[in-house]
């Protein structure tokens, strides 16, 4: 079984879906000959010269065009180079793509996947490092998916492309090439809306997605040295998110720490926390804790301070265990 990093898993999923379904098309800035800014689409234009399109630097145009393609029967996969650049297309996404099924009474859907890298960790500064998934999680009609491993990247992206509704597919660029996993060739799907327990534990539940899953696993190893076993739950899909997996974990441990890169106020971790408080407060043995970014623009020189790390997560574990 081949070893792939996340970039290679994206490329493999796109290639295999384009071979399987001639309705799948790719468009975006430099996605053709250049293979995209992170080379996720490298080589695809050679095999599919009529279905990979370089576009002008106009995010609103990219997404608007993709919506039209989807309405006419194609399955477009537009790429936005960085999540930070997506806001000129925000109206197209939340006012058109997300609402088309509802406004047409189910007559039309928009089967498209918007791929975009998100998050910090590459010294990109405040215009290339944001984690603003909560904007899209707040919009009914959109699915929001965030993989954390190469295996899940291929499986979730394949499922997203086959989904009948618009999907935001956010790729954690910090770990694009950080490690490799075994990823099977051929058909591989991972269902949307199902979390994965990355580490079993009975003392504290850690909830995360994307790169923060790996931060939590590192903190969990440190906690194990003190005899505290952490249940590390990788949500994988934020909308819809696996509330059953979250509640099962909290009922087992009685303690919850939610970890995310975004600014703390209004981040999606607040929704996870609220759901736990509403549905499982009688199981809690300590307050729900959040470890997140700060309520400031993303800094350049203080990137390592802004982003949650294993030290900050371990401190939250200690606080929960000593309550």
138 counts as catalytic: no
Close Cβ partners of 302 (under 8 Å, ≥ 6 residues apart):
none
Take residue 63 and report the two structure tokens written for it. 């997404």
Helix, strand, or coil here: 82?
Answer: coil
Name the nearest CA neighbour of 117 among 41, 206, 191, 52: 41
Bridge partner list, 289: 257
Rounded alpha-carbon distances, angstroms, from residue 14 to 34, 68, 263? 16, 20, 31
Catalytic entry in 126, 128, 138, 214: 128
Close Cβ partners of 249 (under 8 Å, ≥ 6 residues apart):
197, 205, 207, 231, 233, 256
Task: Give me the active site residues, please.
Answer: 128
């Amino acid at each position: 079984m081949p070893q792939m990093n996340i970039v290679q898993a994206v490329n493999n999923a796109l290639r295999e879906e384009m071979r399987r379904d001639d309705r799948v098309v790719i468009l975006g800035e430099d996605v053709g000959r250049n293979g995209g800014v992170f080379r996720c689409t490298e080589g695809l234009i050679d095999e599919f010269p009529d279905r990979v399109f370089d576009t002008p630097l106009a995010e609103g145009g990219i997404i608007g065009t993709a919506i039209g393609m989807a309405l006419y029967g194609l399955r477009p996969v537009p790429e936005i180079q960085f999540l930070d650049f997506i806001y000129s297309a925000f109206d197209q996404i939340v006012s058109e793509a997300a609402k088309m099924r509802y406004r047409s009474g189910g007559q039309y859907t928009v089967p498209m996947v918007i791929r975009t890298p998100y998050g910090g960790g590459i010294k990109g500064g405040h215009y290339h490092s944001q984690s603003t998934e909560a904007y899209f999680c707040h919009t009914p009609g959109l699915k929001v998916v965030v993989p954390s491993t190469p295996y899940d990247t291929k499986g979730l992206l394949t499922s997203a492309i086959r989904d009948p509704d618009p999907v935001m597919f956010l790729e954690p660029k910090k770990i694009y090439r950080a490690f490799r996993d075994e990823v099977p060739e051929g058909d591989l799907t991972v269902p949307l809306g199902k979390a994965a327990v990355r580490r079993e534990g009975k003392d504290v539940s850690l909830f995360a997605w994307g790169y923060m899953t790996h931060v939590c696993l590192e903190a969990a190893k440190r906690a194990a040295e003190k005899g505290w076993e952490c249940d590390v739950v990788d949500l994988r899909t934020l909308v819809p998110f696996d509330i059953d997996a979250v509640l099962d974990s909290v009922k087992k441990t009685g303690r919850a720490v939610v970890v995310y890169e975004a600014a703390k106020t209004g981040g999606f971790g607040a929704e996870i926390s609220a759901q736990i408080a509403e549905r499982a407060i009688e199981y809690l043995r300590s307050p729900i804790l959040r470890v997140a970014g700060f309520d400031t623009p993303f800094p350049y020189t203080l990137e390592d301070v802004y982003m949650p790390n294993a030290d900050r997560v371990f401190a939250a574990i200690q606080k929960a265990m000593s309550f």
